[in-house]
Structure 1
Amino acid sequence: MCGLAGLLRARPDADEARLTTLAGAMGDALVHRGPDDSGVWADAASGVALAHRRLSILDLSPLGHQPMSSADHRHVVVYNGEIYNFAELREVLVARGHAFRGHSDTEVLLAAVVEWGVEETLARCNGMFAIALWDRQERCLWLARDRVGKKPLYYGWAGDDFVFGSELKSLWRHPAFDNGVDRDALALLLRLDYIPAPYAIHERTFKLLPGACLRIDAATVARGATGHDPHRDQRRYWDARERMRHALAAPFAGDVLEAENRLDELLRDAVALRMVADVPVGVFLSGGTDSSVVTALMQAQSRHAVRTFTIGFERSHHDEAHLAREVAEHLHTEHTELYVSGADALAVVPTLPAMFDEPFADASQVPTALVARLARSAVTVALSGDGGDELFFGYKRYERALRNWRWLRRVPAPMRRVLAQAARGHGESSRTGGFAALAAEMGARGIGDVYRQRIARWRDPAAVVPGANLPPTFYDQPDPLQGAGTPADAMMLADFSVYLPEDLLCKVDRTSMAVSLEARAPLLDWRVAEFAWSLPLEFKRQPSESKYLLKRVLRRYLPDEMVDRGKRGFGAPVSAWLKGDLREWAASLLGPSRLRTEGHFDADAVHGIWQAFVAGERKWHTHLWNVLMFQAWHEHWRAQRRELVQP
Structure 2
Amino acid sequence: MCGITGFWGQEAPSSAIAKEMAAQILHRGPDDSGVWVEGDTGLALGHRRLAIVDLSAAGHQPMHSACERFVIAFNGEIYNHLDLRKQLDQSSVAPVWRGHADTETLLAAFSAWGIERTLEAANGMFAIALWDRQLKTLTLARDRFGEKPLYYGLVGKRPALVFGSELKALAAHPDWQPTLNQNVLDEYLRFGCVRGAASIYQGIHKLLPGSYVQFTQSDIANGQLPEVTQWWSPVTAALAAKQAPVIANPDDAVEQTRQAMMTSVGQRMMADVPLGAFLSGGVDSSLVVALMQAQSSKPVRTFSVGFDDARYDESSHAAAVAAHLGTDHTTLKATSQMALDTIPQLADMYDEPFADSSQIPTALIASLTRQHVTVALSGDGGDELFGGYNRHVWVPQIWSKLNRLPVAVRKTLALSLRSIPVGAYDGVMNIAGRVLPKRLHVRTFGEKLHKLAAVLESPSQQALFAGVSSMNRQPGNLLNAGVPTTPLENLYPALQQFDAVEWMLLMDTMNFMVDDALVKVDRASMASTLEVRVPFLDPNVFHTAWRIPASLRIKNGQGKWPLRETLYQHVPAALIDRPKMGFAIPLDEWLRGPLREWAEDLLQPASLVELPMLNVKAVGAMWKNHVNGKGHYAQQLWAVLQLLAWQRRWRC
TM-score by length of 1: 0.92
1:78 and 2:34 correspond: no
Amino acid at match of 1:470: T
1:204 and 2:198 correspond: no
**In the aligned structure 2, how far is the partner of 1:478 from the partner of 1:450?**
14
SS at match of 2:609: helix
Provide the residue aligned with 1:12 in structure 2.
Answer: 11
Q: Deviations over 1:291-339 (max 9, x none)?
A: 0000000000001110001100112311000000001111111111122
Provide the residue aligned with 2:581 in structure 1.
Answer: 568
Amino acid at match of 2:462: G
1:468 and 2:483 correspond: yes
Q: After TM superposition, list the pairs within 5 Å mapping 1:473-552 onto structure 2.
A: 476-477=491-492, 479=494, 482-552=495-565
Amino acid at match of 1:153: L
**In the aligned structure 2, how far is the partner of 1:433 from the partner of 1:332?**
44
Provide the residue aligned with 2:21 in structure 1.
Answer: 26
**In the aligned structure 1, how far is the partner of 2:537 from the partner of 2:83?**
19
Indicate the percent of aligned positions where both proteins have the same amino acid.
42
Q: Deviations over 1:455-500 (max 9, x none)?
A: 1133343453344213689972363xx1223211111111100111
**In the aligned structure 2, how far is the partner of 1:428 from the partner of 1:476?**
27
Provide the residue aligned with 1:616 in structure 2.
Answer: 629
Provide closer, same or farther for how the CA distance between residues 242 and 428 of structure 1 changes in structure 2, counting only shifts above 3 A.
Answer: farther
2:610–2:647: 8 Å Cα contact kept in structure 1?
no
Q: What is the number of residues matched between the two proteins?
A: 627
Provide the residue aligned with 1:324 in structure 2.
Answer: 318
1:284–1:310: 8 Å Cα contact kept in structure 2?
yes
**In the aligned structure 2, how far is the partner of 1:544 from the partner of 1:637?**
46
**In the aligned structure 2, how far is the partner of 1:390 from the partner of 1:504?**
11
SS at match of 2:536: helix
Shift of 1:542: 2.2
SS at match of 2:276: strand
**In the aligned structure 2, how far is the partner of 1:453 from the partner of 1:422?**
19
1:150–1:505: 8 Å Cα contact kept in structure 2?
yes
Provide the residue aligned with 2:470 in structure 1.
Answer: 456
Provide closer, same or farther for how the CA distance between residues 421 and 219 of structure 1 changes in structure 2, counting only shifts above 3 A.
Answer: farther
2:463–2:488: 8 Å Cα contact kept in structure 1?
no
Higher mean C-alpha deviation, range 329-338 or range 597-606: 597-606
**In the aligned structure 2, how far is the partner of 1:171 from the partner of 1:497?**
25
Shift of 1:614: 1.2
Amino acid at match of 2:215: I
Provide the residue aligned with 1:100 in structure 2.
Answer: 97
Unaligned runs of 5+ in 1: 642-647
Provide the residue aligned with 1:127 in structure 2.
Answer: 124
1:141 and 2:138 correspond: yes
**In the aligned structure 2, how far is the partner of 1:489 from the partner of 1:474?**
18
SS at match of 2:138: strand
Shift of 1:180: 1.4
Shift of 1:118: 0.8
Provide the residue aligned with 1:175 in structure 2.
Answer: 174
Provide the residue aligned with 2:287 in structure 1.
Answer: 293
Amino acid at match of 1:616: G
**In the aligned structure 1, how far is the partner of 2:407 from the partner of 2:185?**
34
1:59 and 2:58 correspond: no
**In the aligned structure 2, how far is the partner of 1:411 from the partner of 1:272?**
51
**In the aligned structure 2, how far is the partner of 1:564 from the partner of 1:464?**
40
Shift of 1:244: 1.5
Amino acid at match of 2:300: V
1:150–1:509: 8 Å Cα contact kept in structure 2?
yes
Shift of 1:596: 3.4
**In the aligned structure 1, how far is the partner of 2:244 from the partner of 2:456?**
34
SS at match of 2:271: coil
**In the aligned structure 2, how far is the partner of 1:627 from the partner of 1:5?**
30
Provide the residue aligned with 1:645 in structure 2.
Answer: none
**In the aligned structure 2, how far is the partner of 1:498 from the partner of 1:577?**
29
SS at match of 2:356: coil
Amino acid at match of 1:173: A
**In the aligned structure 2, how far is the partner of 1:461 from the partner of 1:154?**
26
SS at match of 1:181: coil
Amino acid at match of 2:208: L
Shift of 1:570: 0.7
Shift of 1:428: 11
1:52–1:67: 8 Å Cα contact kept in structure 2?
yes
Amino acid at match of 1:560: A
SS at match of 2:45: strand
1:133–1:141: 8 Å Cα contact kept in structure 2?
yes
1:428–1:460: 8 Å Cα contact kept in structure 2?
no
Provide closer, same or farther for how the CA distance between residues 461 and 528 of structure 1 changes in structure 2, counting only shifts above 3 A.
Answer: same
Amino acid at match of 1:352: L
1:194–1:502: 8 Å Cα contact kept in structure 2?
yes
**In the aligned structure 1, how far is the partner of 2:210 from the partner of 2:623?**
40
**In the aligned structure 2, how far is the partner of 1:442 from the partner of 1:7?**
51
**In the aligned structure 2, how far is the partner of 1:613 from the partner of 1:388?**
34
Q: After TM superposition, list the pairs within 5 Å mapping 1:283-432 onto structure 2.
A: 283-412=277-406, 415=409
**In the aligned structure 1, how far is the partner of 2:610 from the partner of 2:258?**
57
Provide closer, same or farther for how the CA distance between residues 331 and 141 of structure 1 changes in structure 2, counting only shifts above 3 A.
Answer: same
SS at match of 1:32: helix
SS at match of 2:479: coil
Shift of 1:189: 1.2
SS at match of 2:37: strand
Higher mean C-alpha deviation, range 394-403 or range 28-37: 394-403
Shift of 1:93: 0.4
Shift of 1:445: 5.3
Provide the residue aligned with 1:222 in structure 2.
Answer: 221
Amino acid at match of 1:500: M
SS at match of 2:28: coil
SS at match of 1:411: coil
SS at match of 2:40: coil
Choose which of 626, 630, 640 in structure 2 pairs with 1:627.
Answer: 640
**In the aligned structure 2, how far is the partner of 1:205 from the partner of 1:620?**
31
Shift of 1:215: 1.0
1:353–1:633: 8 Å Cα contact kept in structure 2?
yes
**In the aligned structure 2, how far is the partner of 1:263 from the partner of 1:21?**
50
Q: Deviations over 1:57-79 (max 9, x none)?
A: 01111111100111221111100
Provide the residue aligned with 1:644 in structure 2.
Answer: none
Provide the residue aligned with 1:258 in structure 2.
Answer: 252
Shift of 1:400: 2.6
**In the aligned structure 2, how far is the partner of 1:628 from the partner of 1:310?**
28
**In the aligned structure 1, how far is the partner of 2:420 from the partner of 2:63?**
57
SS at match of 2:312: coil
Unaligned runs of 5+ in 2: 426-443
1:185–1:200: 8 Å Cα contact kept in structure 2?
yes
Amino acid at match of 1:82: E
Provide the residue aligned with 2:151 in structure 1.
Answer: 154
Amino acid at match of 2:101: S
Provide the residue aligned with 1:276 in structure 2.
Answer: 270
Provide closer, same or farther for how the CA distance between residues 382 and 592 of structure 1 changes in structure 2, counting only shifts above 3 A.
Answer: same
CA RMSD for the aligned pairs? 2.4
Amino acid at match of 2:367: R
Shift of 1:197: 2.4
Amino acid at match of 2:301: R
Provide closer, same or farther for how the CA distance between residues 370 and 437 of structure 1 changes in structure 2, counting only shifts above 3 A.
Answer: closer
Higher mean C-alpha deviation, range 20-29 or range 615-624: 615-624
